[in-house]
A and B are shown apart, each in its own frame.
Chain A
Amino acid sequence: MAVTNRRADFEATLTRTAEARGREAGAALERASLWRDAVHRFSRNRAAVVAAFAFLAMLVFVIFVPIFSNEDPYAVDFSQSFLSPSLAHPFGTDEFGRDLFVRTALGGRISIGIGFAATFAIMIVGILYGSISGFAGGWVDNGLMRFLDALYGLPYLPFAIITLAIFGTTNFYTMVVALTVASWFTTARVMRGQIITLKENDYVRAANALGARWYRILFRHLLPNTLGVILIFVFLELPGVVLGEAFLSFLGMGVEPPKASWGTLAQDGYTSYLAHPYIIVIPSLCISWLILSAFFIADGLRDALDPRTRQNF
């Protein structure tokens, strides 16, 4: 048949052609690492890059302003009270005459500090719980997840408030604990989901089939992949935690004075905002700044680390 004859001809020249082609093709490929790829993709997302800079700018502000400022954030001077924003006092002064520029920066240290600490704690608890549940599987997993489902029934703010009431006082640590206790559920569930997906993943099975031990699987295979998700989650949880702290502070349960967070500054401003709105507007906008930048960074990370899950904010 005609086709068979042509096949024989074709085969004869195949090796020659293939060799020539192969030499050409081999040259081009460069080994790109996962992270470098991700960084590249991240930098293509303009919103994320802008947000990253904004976030950094915020960090610079809270870290360096108190160091370089000449104002004493705790000095009370009633002759200076309630000055509107000006060159001398970019954010104005409060009712005690304290410079709000410095106080806002200091407040930022506390708010962001609580934010990161609580997020970190939530990650730890969530990862532990989720990993145990995911790895164990079976009825342990079932039971732990049911328990978690039940916990969703607890209202967030009352729960946090009750926790603070148990401690009796609010400082950095009690606030972190209260926020963590009220918010770890979602992370636990997501982590468990991650562990389960990865556990069932083919390349883990392959590693298993090759006789790798569980800790090797965990560290070489599971964790690097989960790391990306964890990073994204940090920037997703951070705004929620900071907002939670702000709410609690606004309701009067924030850190004790004279220390202040953005939330307590807002609460301070609340008593006199009708006449001096800037006192409440400024710390609130700082919170917004953090929320927005964290959100767009998380979006960019999501794109960068796994373009398949692309959503349009």
Chain B
Amino acid sequence: MLKFIVRRVAWTIPVLLLVILMTFLMMRLIKGNPFQVTERPVPPAIQANLERQFHLDQPWYMQYVYYVKGVFTANLGPSLQQRDRDVNDIIKEHFPVSLKLGGLAMLFAIVVGIPLGIIAALKQNTPIDYFVMAIVNAGYALPNFLIATLLIYFFAVKWGAHTPFPTNGWAGWESWILPMIALGHAPMTVLARIVRGSMLETLQADYIRTAKAKGLRWRRVVGLHVLRNSLIPAVTAAGPLLGYLIAGSFIVETIFGIPGIGRYFIISVASRDYSVTMGITVLLSIIIIVANLVVDILYGFLDPRTRDVRT
């Protein structure tokens, strides 16, 4: 097991390097990127800073190496557009917000999605099942910008000034509710579907028949035997869910005016602040890679069979 973990962790380094390389190469193709010496609409003070930071006199592969070094020392260079501000500063300021929003949305997805999936599976083919799955499927199909705007429309416009969930401003826990729902509803539907499918499959399994034949109470059969085997596949969905959350955050943050890095990414692209663009992309990549790593290891713990098969 330990061997598995070590190997898996070691594997993330080359992956990370490769990802940074690809981002680096792609960024270099954009006009006005921080790695080119020519045609940059940048004030000279920043220009000097950039040359120092990104070693613009060196060939591209050296620039890449320095950039990687920068990543590992948590130094992502200066902002192209904002004087006196580093990419780091910007990230430090905005990332925690996104983290909180993403965490809440994930929580929402888990707390609502998994029970819905379980209920639907246990009451398969009854009106409850159809009802739950209708909601879930509808939720999946509605784009989150629609959900977000509809939520705002109802709570801000229709409800008026005394709305329980404010949609602008950033005070208090109430203002997190609507964005959380808007961002989390798509992952929620995915989880519900996966859990339902997984449970239905498990319920047909031979070992559930055995459990019943042993005279175990149905509560235990479902609560232990069925759930444990059904929820494990749901863990593997965490990777794609993270993808949904990241993509969704760009939209939801923009609509609700939440100062997170998703929204800032868009701003940086629009204002050609490409070092920030690059920095945020690298950060998101790191998050994805680390998350996948955690999921893989977690899966190893949860499913005893994988512990012995692979090293």
B142 within 8 A of partner (CB): yes
Given A266-B145, A284-B146, decide whether A313 and B23 contact each other with a Cβ distance below 8 A: no
> Does B197 lie within 8 Å of A274, measured CB to CB?
no
Distance of A76 Cα from B63 Cα, bound (Å): 51
- The main secondary structure of chain A at its interface with chain B is helix
* Residue on A nearest B274 in the bound complex, by CB: A165
Question: Shortest beta-carbon distance, B285 to chain A, in Å?
Answer: 5
Query: Which listed residue (B133, B146, B201) contacts A280, Cβ 8 A?
Result: B146
Residues of A within 8 A of B149 (CB): 270, 273, 277, 280
B26 close to A274 (CB less than 8 A): no
Question: Cα distance A295–B26 when bound, in Å?
Answer: 33
What is the bound-complex CA distance between A193 and B173, given in angstroms? 46
* Complex contact A154–B22 (CB within 8 A): yes
Answer yes or no: A175 CB below 8 A from chain B CBs: no
Q: CB-CB < 8 A to A151: which residues of B? A: 19, 22
Tell whether A243 is near chain B: CB-to-CB under 8 Å: yes
Residues of chain A within 8 A (CB-CB) of B152 are 274
Residue pair B19, A252 in contact (C-beta under 8 Å) = no
* Interface members, chain B 62-117 (any A CB < 8 Å): none
CB atoms of B137 and A277 under 8 A apart: no
Check if A153 sits within 8 Å of B289, measured CB to CB.
Answer: yes
Question: Complex: how many Å from CA A157 to CA B288?
Answer: 13
Count of inter-chain pairs, beta carbons less than 8 A: 134
Contact B266 A252 (CB under 8 A): yes
- Asked if B266 contacts A250 (CB within 8 A), the reply is no
Which residue of chain A lies nearest to B199 when distances are taken between CB atoms in the complex?
A: A312
Q: Which residues of B contact A273 (CB under 8 A)?
A: 149, 153
- B266 surroundings in chain A (CB, below 8 A): 161, 251-252
Q: Quick one: given A163-B26, A281-B146, are A274 and B137 in contact (CB under 8 Å)?
A: no
- Beta-carbon contact of B285 and A154 below 8 Å: yes
B220 within 8 A of A: no
| Contact in complex: A153, B150 (CB < 8 Å) | no
Residue on B with the closest CB to A274?
A: B157
Partner of B247, one of A152, A157, A166: A157
Indicate the size class of the contact surface on chain A: 35 or more
Task: State A20–B250 Cα separation when bound (angstroms).
Answer: 74
Q: Which residues of A contact B137 (CB under 8 A)?
A: 292, 295, 313
Q: How far is the CA of A264 from the CA of B22 in the complex (A)?
A: 29
Q: In the complex, what residues of A have CB within 8 A of residue B52's CB?
A: none
Check if A33 is an interface residue, CB within 8 A of chain B: no
Interface core residue of B22, B145, B196, B292 (most chain A CB under 10 Å): B145
Q: Residue B265 at the A interface, CB < 8 A?
A: yes
State which of B141, B157, B250, B254 has its C-beta within 8 Å of the C-beta of A288: B141
Contact with B along A143-166 (1 / 0, CB 8 A): 000010111111111110111011
**Residue in B closest to A246 when the chains form the complex, CB atoms:** B143
Task: Decide yes or no whether A311 CB sits under 8 A from chain B.
Answer: yes
B310 → chain A closest CB, angstroms: 14
Is B185's CB within 8 Å of the partner chain A? no
- Cβ–Cβ < 8 Å partners of B124 in chain A: 312
Contact indicator B143/A277 (Cβ below 8 Å)? no
Q: How far is the CB of A128 from chain B (nearest CB, A)?
A: 19
Q: Which residues of B contact A157 (CB under 8 A)?
A: 246-247, 250
27 A–B contacts from the bound complex (CB under 8 Å)? A149-B15, A151-B22, A153-B292, A154-B285, A155-B288, A156-B246, A158-B265, A158-B280, A159-B281, A166-B30, A168-B31, A244-B247, A252-B270, A253-B269, A266-B145, A270-B255, A277-B149, A277-B150, A281-B150, A284-B142, A287-B141, A291-B140, A292-B141, A295-B140, A311-B201, A312-B196, A313-B193
Residues of chain B whose beta carbon lies under 8 Å from any beta carbon of chain A: 14-16, 18-19, 22-23, 26-27, 29-31, 124, 133, 137-138, 140-143, 145-146, 149-150, 152-153, 156-157, 193, 196-197, 200-201, 239, 243, 246-247, 250-251, 254-255, 265-266, 269-270, 277, 280-281, 284-285, 288-289, 292
Residues of A whose CB lies within 8 Å of any CB of B are 147, 149-159, 161-163, 165-166, 168, 239, 243-244, 246-247, 250-253, 266, 270, 273-274, 277, 280-281, 284-285, 287-289, 291-292, 295, 311-313
Identify the 9 closest CB pairs spanning chains A and B, nearest first. A284-B146, A288-B141, A155-B284, A291-B141, A150-B15, A157-B247, A153-B19, A150-B18, A292-B141
Having A155-B281, A165-B30, one finds 7 other A-B pairs with CB under 8 Å, namely: A154-B19, A154-B285, A155-B284, A158-B280, A159-B26, A251-B251, A311-B201
